[in-house]
Structure 1
Amino acid sequence: MQHLHSVNALNLDNTWLTIGSFDGVHQGHQQIIRKLTTEAHA
């Protein structure tokens, strides 16, 4: 895991990101994670 304080120096090509406060992995969160995983591997 990386702790970042700035995104200015990052290479963000082909990067997918989700930000949120996940209080558990219910069906809505599972759908978001599935979509991100599918798109990231496409």
Structure 2
Amino acid sequence: MIKKIKPHAANNPIGFCQECAHHCIRKKRFMLECRNFACYC
């Protein structure tokens, strides 16, 4: 499942990836990849 998310507090790649990780954890998935502001769980 590939999903692009718009994180709330992230305007830099590191913050975005932290948001991505939390997003995936909430969905009980592992973060597979995070780059170019695309979050893959």
- Does TM, scored on the shorter chain, surpass 0.5? no
> TM-score when scaled to structure 1?
0.41
Whichever of the two has the greater Rg, that structure is 1
Please state which structure has a larger fraction of its residues in strand. Answer: 2
